[in-house]
Amino acid sequence: MLSAMLDDTMGPAVLVMSEGRLYTTTISMTVNFLSPAKPGPIIGEAKVTQLGKTIAFVEAKLMAENGTVLATASATERLLEAARVVR
């Protein structure tokens, strides 16, 4: 569940950074589980560390409402033109 949340946090980071021009599909993702997730809100943050012509490198973290880091991830994403993917 946390892995899917991390993946769903990183893709939109590229979409926002590219002002809606680029969509992603995950090539590879590494996840580190740091603390157990408990019922309640979970906050996700992502940052694009490098954006190339066809590949992006992205990092993300999930935190509990109190700021405890639950999991981190880094991913390699294939870039696709959003206009060709989302119709």
DSSP-assigned letters across all residues of the chain:
-HHHHHHHHHHHHHHHHTTTSEEEEEEEEEEEE-S---SS-EEEEEEEEEE-SSEEEEEEEEEETTS-EEEEEEEEEEEEEHHHH--
pLDDT digits (tens, 9 = 90+) for 65-87: 999 999 999 999 999 998 887 66
Average pLDDT, the chain: 94
pTM of the model: 0.88
Right CATH for 2-85 from 3.20.20.70, 3.40.50.2300, 3.10.129.10, 3.30.70.920: 3.10.129.10
What ranges do the domains of the chain cover? 2-85
